[in-house]
Amino acid sequence: MAEERTVRGALIGCGFFAENQMQAWQQLQRDGKRVEIVALCDRDPQRLAHFQTLFGIEATFTDANAMFEAFAGGGADGKDSDLDFVDIATTTQAHAALVPLAADHGVDIICQKPFAGSLETARQLIEHCKTRGVTLGIHENFRWQQAVRSTIEALRDGAIGQPFFGRISYRNGFDVYRAQPYLAEVERFIIEDLGIHVLDIARALFGEVDRLGCEIARVNPAINGEDVATMMLHHDTGVTAVVDCSYATRLADDPFPQSLIEIDGKRGSLRLRQDFTLEIHAIEGGCEIRDVRPESPAWSEAPWRPIQQSVLAFQRDWLGAQRQGRSVETRGEDNFNTLALVEAAYRAAAIHQTVVPERWER
């Protein structure tokens, strides 16, 4: 059997969170998964130099087009580029140009969430990638947190039968603005930056949403956007779910960065607790307790371990999907429906009415 070819990628965007992506790619490389980041790109020379030193990548660029041109031609299997994929870890505004640029060079794409600033742009990016014959995966990692994933799998395995109610709660007082000060300036904050993850968990658990209501608040006077949001979702499956997010909740035992989950079903209930235990309550009585704490990578650190583990898990699954010729779970078409929930939530909050979200027509 021929040896598996090394998949070669480039990272665009060397900001705060991208360090986790680079750590995960190099972890996969050390684990023998035959993947390598061979180029870095960032418009800021200082950030670029920091990543070059930290991760030992020789090829660096301040212009994405120059990077793609440098790798053009000579790719394996007649590809247009010697790059197999690009991991776009920039802010959303840059995606509308970077995704088509990568697609035009025949390079498969991972794009940070939100992958588009509007649903119309999202449609255009999805269709452009289809036309160019490249895959578009969205870096949506919350559903890959080990505790959350264990809850999803328990529900899908029928542990409590058909669910009828759920709550996914992300409430803490973490100073998210210290490492990412731009978050204090944006007009749309917690739903677009954090709630998008929690809404995606709701979709992974309960399926598509046919209507949604939302109320928001700004508790911190030093920021521009909302830091509290409460959403009620009705899913096609009949499940009613509450998704609530807050960066203004003060607790002695702060759960950051965990999402806590409650699900009631016809044959029992699930409870994902702050101590990384998953309780499965049976209709006959009794409770099975599973330890679902994350298997943290060696490079992870508190309090980020659950998220850093999920980055590694997402990238491992993405790589497996590429090798096996299957779609990654959070491909563009799927994540369009998560992005649509974000847009619906803001509309619902503005008019104080239930909204029917748009949906990708498969």
Domain of residue 268, CATH code: 3.30.360.10
- Cβ neighbours of 338 (radius 10 Å): 27
User: Model confidence over 126-185: pLDDT tens digits?
Assistant: 999 999 999 999 999 999 999 999 999 999 999 999 999 999 999 999 999 998 999 999
Same domain for 165 and 91, yes or no, is: no
| 150, 285: one domain | yes
Please tell me the predicted confidence (pLDDT) of residue 97. Answer: 98
Residue 307 belongs to a domain: no
Please determine, for residue 337, whether its predicted confidence score (pLDDT) is greater than 70.
Answer: yes
Phi, psi of 341 (to 5 degrees): -70, -35
Q: What is the mean pLDDT of the chain?
A: 96
The whole-angstrom separation of Cα 140 and Cα 292 is: 20
Examine the domain organization and report whether 195 and 48 are in the same domain.
Answer: no
Domain range holding 276? 143-293+337-351
Taking 70 as the threshold, does the pLDDT of residue 76 lie above it?
no
- Separation between Cα atoms, residue 59 and residue 336, nearest integer Å: 33
Model pLDDT, residue 205 = 98
Q: What is the arithmetic mean of pLDDT over 250-276? A: 97
Residue 40 lies inside a defined structural domain of this protein? yes
Identify whether 300 is part of a domain: no
What are 11-65's pLDDT values in tens digits? Answer: 999 999 999 999 999 999 999 999 999 999 999 999 999 999 999 999 999 999 9
CATH of the domain at 25: 3.40.50.720
Query: What is the per-residue pLDDT for 1?
Result: 44
Q: With cut-offs at 50, 70 and 90, classify the pLDDT of residue 3.
A: low
Inside any domain, residue 2:
no
pLDDT for the residue numbered 81? 72
Number of domains in the chain: 2
Q: Say whether pLDDT at 73 is over 80.
A: no
Check whether residue 189 and residue 281 sit in a common domain.
yes
Give the pLDDT band (50/70/90) at residue 277.
Answer: very high
| 169 in the same domain as 216 | yes
DSSP 141-192: -GGGSHHHHHHHHHHHTTTTSSEEEEEEEEE----TTTT-GGGGT-SS-HII
Q: What is the pLDDT of residues 79-99, one digit of tens each?
A: 567 999 999 999 999 999 999
Q: Are strands 108-112 and 136-139 parallel, antiparallel or unpaired?
A: parallel
In this structure, is residue 276 part of a structural domain?
A: yes
Amino acid 361: pLDDT: 78
Q: Do 126 and 166 fall into the same domain? A: no
- Beta-carbon-side half-sphere exposure of residue 41 (alpha carbons within 13 Å): 22
Domain-embedded: residue 361: no
Q: Please indicate, yes or no, whether residues 114 and 244 belong to a single structural domain of this protein.
A: no
Does the pLDDT of residue 362 top 80, yes or no?
A: no
- The number of CA neighbours under 13 Å toward the Cβ of 214 is 28
User: Do 197 and 343 share a domain, yes or no?
Assistant: yes
Model confidence at 332: pLDDT above 70 = yes
Residue 87 and residue 64 share a domain: yes
Residue 67 belongs to some domain of the structure: yes
* Residue 67 shares a structural domain with residue 158: no
My answer on whether 153 and 113 are in the same domain is no
Query: Are both 30 and 119 inside the same structural domain?
Result: yes
Residue 306 lies in a domain: no
Question: Can you give the pLDDT at residue 80?
Answer: 62
